[in-house]
Structure 1
């Protein structure tokens, strides 16, 4: 159990930092867009919101990849593709159970699931913040 924590906690911290980087890229992108145009076209708004969502998704996919890499290094999977599948299912807290870690490393899957649910929450908060601001500005333009 101690080895699980000694590997899992630093991995979780690394993922938190990675997500913070993606948030740090996403929100300034949105704020720059917001500040440099008085009236926003629908196409530009869709593009910027899509970029914010893609950056958040990319951050989550990169974290799944880091966990998958750890599982391959630990010898849990022979292929990165299989490890990535397991990681994606675990990170998203789906837990199909068709692929599991050996008893020695099972606690890592719980740590990844906790990491994933937290990071999907952060991603949702960023996207909701940007979308809420778009709606607020749209209503202001309509004079409501």
Structure 2
């Protein structure tokens, strides 16, 4: 398992970097967009902001699945990127179908990716929750300002 961790750690660090960049960009743009519309926030803006946050989080998670799939290809575990990506997505999303398995030498990378995926989906959920709470807070402040 030691060699699998040595291979997985750089991939996890790259994925964490991708997630960190996505979150930082998302939060900066979110805050800037929110500030420009302060006091006159129509419903469409709240919906648009939440959809953008969701799509960016999903895109970032998908990009991480692609990074893991790339690793599986480099290791020679799959003949096609499509198969590697499918296997990666099953691991990352913790579905665990088991219809495709890697060789015994690299099989432990599946659970390692699954543990990483759980953390990344949790982080994406936290980001979306923060955005939803901000929308609620903004709407409450607007309602209280009109009373």
* Smaller-chain TM-score bracket: over 0.9
Moved over 3 A (4+): none
User: Structure 1 unaligned runs (5+)?
Assistant: none
Count of matched residue pairs: 144
In 2, distance between residues paired with 1:21 and 1:53?
15
Give deviations 1:40-88, integer Å, cap 9, x for gaps. Answer: 1111221122111111111100000000011011111111001101100
Report the counterpart of residue 13 of structure 1 in structure 2.
Answer: 13
In 2, distance between residues paired with 1:86 and 1:57?
17
Matched, 1:69 2:75: no
Give deviations 1:70-117, integer Å, cap 9, x for gaps. Answer: 101111111100110110010011111111111100111111111100
C-alpha contact (below 8 Å) 1:30/1:49 kept by paired residues: no
SS in 1 for 2:107: helix
C-alpha contact (below 8 Å) 1:12/1:111 kept by paired residues: no
C-alpha contact (below 8 Å) 1:68/1:80 kept by paired residues: yes
TM-score after normalising by structure 1: 0.95
Report the counterpart of residue 127 of structure 1 in structure 2.
Answer: 128
User: Structure 2 unaligned runs (5+)?
Assistant: none
In 1, distance between residues paired with 2:29 and 2:131?
10
C-alpha contact (below 8 Å) 1:89/1:96 kept by paired residues: yes
Q: Which structure is richer in relative contact order (CA contacts within 8 A, separation 6 or more)?
A: 1
SS in 2 for 1:11: helix
In 2, distance between residues paired with 1:18 and 1:76?
24
- Alignment RMSD, CA only? 1.2
Give the Å deviation of 1:140. Answer: 2.0
Report the counterpart of residue 35 of structure 2 in structure 1.
Answer: 35
Report the counterpart of residue 52 of structure 1 in structure 2.
Answer: 53
